[in-house]
Amino acid sequence: MRAITAFGAAGEVTGSKHLLEADGARILVDCGVFQGRREEAYRKNSSFPFDPASMAAAVNSHGHLDHCGSYPLLAKKGFAGDIVSTSATRDLAALVMMDSAHIQAHDSGFLEKQQRKRPQPWRKIMAPLFDERDVNAALRHYVAVDYGRPRQLADGVALTLYDAGHILGSAMARFEIGAGGGGLAVGFTGDLGRRNMPIIRDPETLPPVDYLVCESTYGDRLHDPMETAMDDLAEAIKGTAARGGRVIIPSFAVERTQELIYFLHKLHDAGRIPSLPVYVDSPMAVSATAIFRAHPECYDAETARDFPFAGGSPFAFDSLHYVTSADESKKLNDLAMPCIIIASSGMCEGGRILHHLVHGVSDPRNTILIVGFMAGHTLGRALADKLTQVKIFGEPYSVKARVKILNSFSAHADWKEIVSWVSSLDTRRLKAVFLVHGEPAAQAHLKARLLEKGIKRVEILAEGESVELR
Ligand SMILES: [Zn+2]
């Protein structure tokens, strides 16, 4: 029997988990967490709709939480095989899974304390799903394999990873099942990146496949071209510096922060922005940047050319400062001069960015730069929607700083980019494209565009639905 089943990221964009059944071998492609409403997410993340011990092997496409965050639980519940990924993905996944273990321990400890102080019947304390030891146990299953190096996962099942161009180390997976006349090739895009992203390479073309499982996050949206991101950034910084203000950038610790550092480095060297101090104020971003520094094998030709190994790191220049201690972070509030502050969390839902917003959101000289996706009901979304009043730590603040949104930053292909990438494949063998990792409207739009392009069969996978591969 040969089949694919979507156990997550079906009609939604989190919880990626796909089962590939290939002649008796069961292989799990990604094991991410569901994100969203707290109780529902917790329920969906606390167990698996399959037996982890039945899996021969797993593949981790990249180190985002919604693709790797449940591997510790998988290992805890009996998974015994290898987790194959690139070496950069293994390192980023280690950071992200460990961070998740710490957040779970912190949140549940905090609620327990509240409950002891003032018991409330409605308060639900959710025990952490895994701890540091479970993360370490999962990491011992990881086997690092570089792009383009085939690896046998089970009898008659070989895997090759291809660069997905989404974040450092991100990979598409191509499986070859069986041999000779009855052989099949199946591709999984994981999260598909974009051309011309800084630091990392463009998405590769997959060799021909019979079936393709394709993401569809932005299946009905278009981004501004990546090429304008650096110019947009320079404009925002020049304007703010001229007003004597500071540029406050909420940013995800992994990938977006390193892209910003890379662009700021280039703008600084070219003299295109005034020489302001730049503070990366996030311990997680500092750790992630160290991982970027350790993986030059993932850089594109431009990065390798502009920052040769002996010529200094893309992630270091004289006005750039990494801030780890909380004391140093607080001292930034007293700085009188214009500066640039990059801090987490990316959607302003917690972390040090909140302190910077408390001190900066009501000063008309400042700019708050939105460079990432802001989910509904987050402070980041309220700022992006240009509300004039926001609540931070429960207190009201009027928004007088300028809020500027840069749409050019995105690590996901938009619908035209997905269609163009699929069209670049040799589709003569292609029997079907299965869409995952998208909301219903995005998936319907992308499906129509792919059919228009001449793809014969495009299906949207429902959660738990198996499709047979013939
Ligand atoms: Zn991703």
Rounded Cα distance between 59 and 16, Å, is: 12
Q: Within the chain, how many helices (H) and strands (E) appear?
A: 14, 22
In single-letter form, the type of residue at position 449 comes to: R
DSSP element (H, E) containing 416: helix 415-423
- C-alpha 262 to ligand 1 mean position (Å): 20
pLDDT at 180: 65
**What long-range pairs does 178-183 form, CB within 8 A, spacing at least 24?**
178/22, 178/23
- C-alpha 4 to ligand 1 mean position (Å): 21
- C-alpha 17 to ligand 1 mean position (Å): 13
DSSP H stretches of helix in 84-216: 87-117, 132-139
Q: Radius of gyration (Cα) for the chain, nearest Å?
A: 23
pLDDT at 107: 87
> Hey, is 208 helix, strand or coil?
coil
Q: What are phi and psi of 265, to 5 degrees?
A: -60, -50
- C-alpha 65 to ligand 1 mean position (Å): 8
- C-alpha 350 to ligand 1 mean position (Å): 20
Q: What are phi and psi of 309, to 5 degrees?
A: -50, -45
- C-alpha 187 to ligand 1 mean position (Å): 17
- C-alpha 217 to ligand 1 mean position (Å): 10
User: What does pTM read for this prediction?
Assistant: 0.94
Rounded Cα distance between 273 and 233, Å, is: 9
- C-alpha 323 to ligand 1 mean position (Å): 26
- C-alpha 40 to ligand 1 mean position (Å): 21
Rounded Cα distance between 317 and 169, Å, is: 24
- C-alpha 128 to ligand 1 mean position (Å): 23
* Closest CA relative to residue 461, chosen from 3, 5, 67: 5
- C-alpha 260 to ligand 1 mean position (Å): 18
- C-alpha 73 to ligand 1 mean position (Å): 20
- Angle, CA 64 vertex, CA 59 and CA 69 arms, to 5°: 70
> Hey, is 301 helix, strand or coil?
helix
Q: What are phi and psi of 278, to 5 degrees?
A: -115, 125
| CA atoms 102, 107, 110, 112: torsion sign | negative
- C-alpha 64 to ligand 1 mean position (Å): 5
- C-alpha 192 to ligand 1 mean position (Å): 8
> Hey, is 108 helix, strand or coil?
helix
In single-letter form, the type of residue at position 426 comes to: D
- C-alpha 166 to ligand 1 mean position (Å): 7
Q: At what angle do helices 229-243 and 256-269 cross, to 10 degrees?
A: 70
Q: At what angle do helices 87-117 and 283-293 cross, to 10 degrees?
A: 170
DSSP element (H, E) containing 140: none
pLDDT at 457: 97
- C-alpha 203 to ligand 1 mean position (Å): 13
pLDDT at 181: 67
- C-alpha 399 to ligand 1 mean position (Å): 31
- C-alpha 66 to ligand 1 mean position (Å): 7
Judge whether 349 and 229 are in contact, CB under 8 Å: no
- C-alpha 219 to ligand 1 mean position (Å): 15
Rounded Cα distance between 217 and 35, Å, is: 15
Q: Is the peptide bond before 16 cis (omega within 30 degrees of 0)?
A: no
- C-alpha 68 to ligand 1 mean position (Å): 10
* Closest CA relative to residue 429, chosen from 392, 469, 400, 464: 469
The residues that bridge with 316 in the sheet, in sequence order, are none
Mean pLDDT, each 10-residue run in order, the chain (470 residues) = 91 91 96 87 94 98 96 98 98 97 91 89 88 98 98 96 98 91 91 95 97 95 88 94 96 95 94 95 96 96 86 90 94 91 91 94 97 86 95 95 92 96 94 94 96 96 93
**Which whole-number Å values give the CA distances from 94 to 200, 250, 321, 384, in the listed order?**
20, 23, 24, 31
- C-alpha 324 to ligand 1 mean position (Å): 25
- C-alpha 412 to ligand 1 mean position (Å): 8
- C-alpha 167 to ligand 1 mean position (Å): 7
Q: Could you give the domains of the chain?
A: 2-221+411-468 (3.60.15.10), 226-405 (3.40.50.10890)
- C-alpha 251 to ligand 1 mean position (Å): 15
- C-alpha 331 to ligand 1 mean position (Å): 33
- C-alpha 14 to ligand 1 mean position (Å): 9
Rounded Cα distance between 188 and 356, Å, is: 40
- Cα of 434 vs its chain's centroid, Å: 21
Q: How many residues does the chain have?
A: 470
Rounded Cα distance between 7 and 462, Å, is: 9
DSSP H stretches of helix in 299-423: 301-306, 326-331, 353-360, 379-384, 415-423
Rounded Cα distance between 279 and 274, Å, is: 15
pLDDT at 226: 82
- C-alpha 132 to ligand 1 mean position (Å): 23
- C-alpha 392 to ligand 1 mean position (Å): 28
Rounded Cα distance between 373 and 264, Å, is: 20
Q: Is the peptide bond before 325 cis (omega within 30 degrees of 0)?
A: no
